[in-house]
Amino acid sequence: AFGVGLVIVGGIRSIARVTEKVVPFMAAIYLVGCATILTFNAEAIPFAVDAIFTGAFAPESIAGGALGVMILGFQRAVFSNEAGIGSATIAHSAVRTEHPVSEGFVALLEPFIDTVVICSATSLVIVSTLYYEPEFFASGLGGVEMTSAAFERNVGWSPTVVTLAAILFAFSTMLSWSYYGLKGWTYLVGEGRGRALAFNGVFCLFVALGCMVKLQSILDFSDALVFVLCVPNILGMIVLAPVVRRELEAYRSR
């Protein structure tokens, strides 16, 4: 909370200076770690790819609660890349560009790197571990604990790298969301140094409180609020789709 406070008091420029260094660094060390583990598990990669696609498209998977699995996937995907809830647009709107569409193309990289690259690498590391330890999924581990255990099977000290990456992922996310919340707050109560500091203080307090609450309670609460965010944002995207099309066509013609 203290570290977040030091950064967010400086506003969007301070947040940008920190995240532009933290985000590439954390992504790089994590992907290097994944590549290292997958090198050790090279013979298991075909098994992992086959297991993922078979599990996704097998008839029993579709019949056995596919809707529930999809909803869970949507919930976790939102935590991964925020696509569709309108939050990242607050940060993208702070850039200086003559063509808004160009920033839209930059925004498209976010879900690609987050979900297609980083999450796929994670899933391959976890599922390839199943090749060597068939009972791995029965261990009762979940989330980052499962990822850490999959790393540890090959390199004993690798959970330290996973932990560092997880801390940096969380830290950079808190910085970004503090700015999103601040923009919403100042829209409602008006701009002002004192008002901004009041919001930042409350935000940092909740950073500390979040460590004391059960994770599942936070996830359930977040899922509910994220759903509330999605509804007006998706309606807005539908209404503004013709505007986006016109802007895109004009940008391409130039």
C-alpha R_g of the chain: 20
For the cut 70, the answer to whether the pLDDT of residue 60 exceeds it is no
Residue 64 C-alpha from the chain's centroid: 28
Please give the Cα distance from 99 to 23 (Å, whole number): 25
Tokens of 93: 């709107």
pLDDT cut 70: percent of the chain above it: 97
pLDDT value of residue 61: 60
Q: How far is CA 113 from CA 106, 109, 164, 184, in A?
A: 11, 6, 19, 27
Q: Closest Cα to residue 167, out of 25, 34, 13, 37?
A: 25
Residues 62-78 pLDDT 10s: 665 667 777 777 777 77
For the cut 90, the answer to whether the pLDDT of residue 220 exceeds it is no
Which whole number is the average pLDDT over 16-29? 89
pLDDT, mean over the chain: 87
Q: ∠ at Cα 25 (23, 29), nearest 5°? A: 120
